[in-house]
A = this chain, B = another copy of it.
Amino acid sequence: MHIEELETPSVLIDLDRLERNIERMQARCDDAGVALRPHIKTHKIPAIARMQVDAGAIGIACQKVGEAEVFAQAGFNDILIPYNIIGKHKTARLADLVLYNRMTVAADNLPVIAGLSEAAAALDIRLRVLVDLATEIERTGATVSRVVELAKIIDNDEHLHFAGLMIYPSNATIRPALQETLTLLHEAGIGVEMVSGGGTGAALHMKEVPELTEIRIGTYAFNDWTTVSRGWCAPEDCAMTVKATVVSRPTENRAILDSGSKTLSSDVLEDGYGHILEYPDARIYKLNEEHGFVDLSACDAKPEIAEVVTVIPVHACVVTNLHNVLYGVRGDQVELTWAVAARGLVQ
């Protein structure tokens, strides 16, 4: 099928670019001696994770137990969930996955560790746990001394296995804290198998953190206007685009697209809610649920009603999450249709 036959809005994945992004990042990781663990949050599609593993990835990362269940079912068996999993049902589901898969999970506090231990004890298994070291983004994560305390507790728990450290993002700024932690763990006689870093931006500098054994990254597969804006890739590396139709031109300088926040998400950058390839001087300045508001005042040429335009979205991962299917295209042909298998599995 020709891509012009697709209705809009449609989310297209350029297969040449996807393949190139996967190969290039794998080569970069190989060169740095860091294992690549793609985060599936970006695509939520087992077939793409398969491409990543076939290219050399060590396993995958999922952010939710529900995602891990879908990918385990699809045959992936080295899965890291870099997240505090809380709740009796959820930890039981996680423990179930351990019966048949190599699972690793993260924790940054005692109640989480206690819950994991209880779930593992119920099945008489041993669950692999990383401890989350706090970074400059001030999200989750424990301080150095607390990480060591938690590692000792995990190490002493017969149903848990201390597998190492988790960091997000693994920028070079974390290195002093990381080295201090590793020294303290070494002095305590606690082995560290994995130091799992993360972040598509951090991946560009992973050689500056030689303590990393692996890196979790998602966005590099598709890229988006954020990774372009931060200088992490070129516009030509963006595999994901949204085809949108101009449905109204109420004034000389306003166009309305059939793609709003339910298509592009409300994630926004300083220059708007996405970049229109054919009209780089246009600005998507506002979104309603199904309307994209475009300011054309800086454009010499302006799109006509019914014209289809190509939008590079601000944030690929949340766009995936809004759609039932993504279309894999090569040149002007639609080569395949992927169901977004793990979409909406927030638990």
Across the interface, do A289 and B317 meet the contact criterion of CB distance under 8 Å? yes
Tell me the complex Cα distance, A304–B84, Å.
14
> How many residues in A have their beta carbons less than 8 Å from beta carbons of B?
63
Q: Is the interface of A mostly helix, strand, loop or mixed?
A: loop
A248 within 8 A of B: yes
Rounded to whole angstroms, the CA-CA distance of A254 and B137 in the bound complex is: 12
Q: Can you list 14 A-B pairs with a CB-CB distance of less than 8 A?
A: A7-B87, A7-B89, A7-B90, A7-B347, A9-B347, A10-B347, A63-B290, A83-B247, A87-B306, A109-B248, A139-B250, A265-B265, A266-B318, A290-B346
Note all chain B residues with C-beta closer than 8 A to A101. none
Distance between A19 CB and nearest chain B CB, rounded to angstroms: 25
CA of A205 to CA of B134 in the docked complex: distance in angstroms?
51
In the bound complex, do residue A109 and residue B317 qualify as a contact, i.e. CB atoms below 8 Å apart? no
Q: Is A313 an interface residue (CB 8 A)?
A: no
A322 contacts which chain B residues (CB < 8 A)? Answer: 321-322, 344, 346
Stretch among A121-129, A174-182, A255-263, A329-337 lining the B interface: A255-263
Asked whether any CB of chain B lies closer than 8 Å to the CB of A140, the reply is yes
Nearest residue, chain B, Cβ from A89 = B7
Given contacts A7-B87, A290-B63, A305-B109, contact A139 B256 (CB under 8 A): yes
- The A314-347 residues at the B interface (CB cut-off 8 A) are 317-318, 321-324, 343-347
Bound-complex Cα distance A80 to B199 (A): 45
Q: Are B254 and A305 in contact (CB-based, < 8 A)? A: no
| A194 interface hit (Cβ, 8 Å) | no
Contact of A250 among B87, B134, B268 (CB under 8 A): B134
Given A8-B87, A250-B108, A322-B321: A140 touches B346 (CB 8 Å cut-off): no
The answer on a CB contact under 8 Å between A266 and B265 is yes
Chain B residues within an 8 Å CB radius of A208: none
Cβ-based interface call for A86 (8 A): yes
Q: How far is the CB of A203 from chain B (nearest CB, A)?
A: 17
Residues of chain B lying within 8 A (CB to CB) of residue A85: 247
* Contact bitstring A3-25, B, C-beta under 8 A = 1, else 0: 00101111000000000000000
- Encode contact with B along A280-295: 1 for CB under 8 Å, 0 otherwise: 0000000011110100
Question: Given the complex, which residues of B lie within 8 Å of A7, measured CB to CB?
Answer: 87, 89-90, 347
B142 and A250 form a contact (CB under 8 A):
yes
Please, what's the 1-or-0 string for A182-204, where 1 marks a CB less than 8 Å from any CB in chain B? 00000000000000000000000
Closest chain B CB from A243 CB (angstroms): 10
Q: Is A26 an interface residue (CB 8 A)?
A: no
Asked whether, in the complex, the Cβ of A318 is within 8 Å of the Cβ of B111, the reply is: no
Q: How far is the CB of A200 from chain B (nearest CB, A)?
A: 13
Q: How far is the CA of A165 from the CA of B288 in the complex (A)?
A: 21
